[in-house]
């Protein structure tokens, strides 16, 4: 069951990145300082130096809670995701798998070679591959940087909408 929850955690973060590579292409390597199943809440708790490697994808967090019954993941503490040309950081993330949505907070930065977007929060829908960044948004493309109240970005096509 422990492996199932960790695999679910990986799948949610995979979907967050909107990657085109198959999620099961590589066996995940998962480490955390402590792992516990809380029978009262029905949550799996991963604490301390949570690190997940799947192929060329690396995800880190300080801690995470996972509910298999509701397909939800809550993670905090230096969220990072690195894969191919995508770099993503946030203070926290809430993933609602049934809706294929993720909400990131605590300061969010998405970087690809041609664009960097920073914002207070971001919402991603991995069905549409679209992220909406809000609050103190800064967009940098090449040598141009501009503020915006919000921006919508298609990760698959690499375009602002």
Phi/psi at 106 (5° precision): 75, 25
Within 15-143, strands assigned E span 29-31, 34-38, 43-54, 57-67, 72-83, 86-96, 101-105, 108-112, 115-119, 121-125, 130-141
**2, 19, 60, 148 from 91: Cα distances, Å:** 25, 21, 11, 21
The average pLDDT across 45-73 equals 85
Q: Look at the block and give the residue holding tokens 């955390």.
A: 32
Give the pLDDT band of residue 12 (cuts 50, 70, 90).
Answer: low
| Class of the domain covering 2-160 | mainly beta
User: In degrees, to the nearest 5, what angle opens at C-alpha 71 toward C-alphas 67 and 73?
Assistant: 60
pLDDT digits (tens, 9 = 90+) for 119-153: 999 998 878 889 999 999 999 999 999 999 999 99
Q: pLDDT grade, residue 81 (50/70/90)?
A: confident
Strand-pairing partners, residue 53, are 29, 58
Q: Where are the domains of the chain?
A: 2-160
User: What is the average pLDDT across 30-47?
Assistant: 90
Q: Is the predicted pLDDT of residue 52 greater than 50, yes or no? A: yes
């Amino acid at each position: 069951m422990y492996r199932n929850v960790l695999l679910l955690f990986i799948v949610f973060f995979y979907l967050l990145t909107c990657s085109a590579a198959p999620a099961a292409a590589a066996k995940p390597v998962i480490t955390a300082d402590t792992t516990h199943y809380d029978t009262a809440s029905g949550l799996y708790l991963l604490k301390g130096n949570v690190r997940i490697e799947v192929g060329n994808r690396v995800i880190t967090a300080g801690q995470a809670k996972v509910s298999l019954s509701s397909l939800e993941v809550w993670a905090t503490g230096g969220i990072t995701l690195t894969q191919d040309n995508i770099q993503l950081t946030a203070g926290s993330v809430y993933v609602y798998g049934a809706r294929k949505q993720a909400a990131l907070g605590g300061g969010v930065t998405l970087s690809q070679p041609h664009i960097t977007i920073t914002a207070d929060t971001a919402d991603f829908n991995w069905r549409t591959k679209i992220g909406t960044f809000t609050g103190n948004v800064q967009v940098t493309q090449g040598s141009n940087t501009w503020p915006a109240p919000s921006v919508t970005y298609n990760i698959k096509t690499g375009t602002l909408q």
